[in-house]
Amino acid sequence: MSPDKRPVRRAVIVAARRTAVCPRGGALAHLQADELAAPVLRQLLSDADLAPDAVDQVLLGNALYGGGNPARLAALRAGLPASVPAMTIDTQCCSGLDAILQGARMIESGAAECVLAGGAESFSRAPIRMHRPETAEGRPVAYDRPSFAPPPFGDPDLTEAAACLADRLGVARTAQADFAVTSHSKADAAMPAIGKRLVRPDAGAPDRDGFTRPLTRKTVLRAPVLAGGADAGLNAATIACEADGAAAVLILSEEAWAKRGGGPCLNIRQGVSVGGDPADPALVPIEAVRQLLNDQGVAVRHLAAVELMEAYAVQAQVTMAELGLDPARMNRLGGALARGHPIGASGAILVVQLFQSLGSQESAAESGERLGLALIAAAGGLGTAMLFESAVSKGG
């Protein structure tokens, strides 16, 4: 969408929250995905001083729940009226960001005035997956993941696909290690600031991400290679760990926010979802970003902050290089290598990080920092990117 065709009705994010992210089997392992999300939704309404009955729609991404509608469960747990509809979105890793994009489109179209959107995932509580037998005499067959693309398309394991990418482009283990070390270093330094944005789902929940730690290149390289060869292989430090967590934002129309007195917000400029080669999913968001920036008349140099999902160090490194992203402006609060990957929530976490990084228009204007980009890849060859702008809506 070109700048002159931008929707007249703008969607703005006025509040953004998340839980801590903890590795599978860690401090959040006793909570289902909807139990993680519900306190986040409640806190968003409190932050914006809105009553539960002001919400028109709840949209949550989730990839592992195994059925049902965890968005509906989370909405009811959060105390929203039973009359408020809720929808769960599954585009795997893109789910949380896609939920926010769809929420923005509902606002822009006039279908809603207030939307809660984000994602939630519990690797720890995910159902055990089994295929039913084809005959009465057969036995159920366990499986780790569903197919993301049918024949004749390639449907590689994502870790194997990332290892092939590293080998094909010659991204050395040492370079991947350095990237992981930097991610942890940023996250560790930013933890006090990150903590201000976190919601504790219960009294025993942590107030910091559970995987972040000081790392050195030597420590990372000591970990055994899990996929790929000796020169460019991937290990546990250069692959985002399976994790639990939830994140969401409160989206209003700009007019509705102004009527409530206005204040700092993130304008949602536009979003793009694209499809690409299922056998090479890590590269798909590159095209999404190119389309988005071209449509909006924005150059990479105009971006003040970028949140790029680090499912794999190599995937993030290649994307950064292909798009010409400034490392100093990317994942300022650390990336997923330092916190983990709660699949359905990861895209929404990117937006929460941007909300915190960009701040208000006044503070951003002092340094010329206004535009933020979030981008993420997903299994099956999907990619989503969204462009945001820090602003202050004036009360009406």
| pLDDT at position 225 over 90 | yes
| pLDDT at position 359 over 80 | no
Q: List the helix and strand counts (H, then E) for the chain.
A: 12, 12
Mean pLDDT of 34-53: 97
Mean pLDDT of 168-194: 96
Mean pLDDT of 371-388: 97
Band of residue 5 on the pLDDT scale cut at 50, 70, 90: low
193 phi/psi in degrees, rounded to 5: -70, -40
Before 152, cis peptide (omega within 30)?
yes
Share the mean pLDDT of the chain: 93
| pLDDT at position 136 over 50 | yes
pTM passes above 0.85: yes
Q: Using the 8-state DSSP alphabet, how is residue 239 labeled?
A: B
| pLDDT at position 224 over 70 | yes
Query: How many C-beta atoms lie closer than 10 Å to residue 378's C-beta?
Result: 29
Max CA distance (Å), the chain = 71
The residue annotated as part of the active site, out of 93, 164, 241, 265, is 93
The residue annotated as part of the active site, out of 114, 241, 265, 341, is 341
In terms of Cβ atoms closer than 10 Å to its own Cβ (0-12, 13-18, 19+), residue 5 is exposed
pLDDT digits (tens, 9 = 90+) for 137-153: 999 999 888 999 999 99
The more confident residue out of 104 and 157 is 104
CA distance 112 to 105: 9
Mean pLDDT of 18-42: 97
pLDDT digits (tens, 9 = 90+) for 290-342: 999 999 999 999 999 999 999 999 999 999 999 999 999 999 999 999 999 99
CA distance 289 to 300: 10
Determine the Cα angle at 176 with ends 171 and 180, to 5°: 160
For the question of residue 341 being annotated catalytic, the response is: yes
**CA end-to-end distance (rounded Å), the chain:** 28
For the question of residue 131 being annotated catalytic, the response is: no
Q: Using the 8-state DSSP alphabet, how is residue 88 labeled?
A: E
**Which residue intervals of 68-115 are DSSP H helices?**
70-77, 95-109
pLDDT digits (tens, 9 = 90+) for 121-134: 999 999 999 999 98
Band of residue 395 on the pLDDT scale cut at 50, 70, 90: confident
- Show the tokens assigned to 320: 């950064």
The more confident residue out of 14 and 263 is 14
CA distance 33 to 121: 5
Give the CA distances from residue 261 to residues 181, 257, 340, in Å, rounded to whole numbers and listed in that order: 43, 7, 37
Buried b (16+ CB within 10 A) or exposed e, 73-92: bbbbbbebeeebbbbbbbbb
Of the candidates 378, 119, 113, the one whose C-alpha atom is nearest the C-alpha of residue 259 is 113
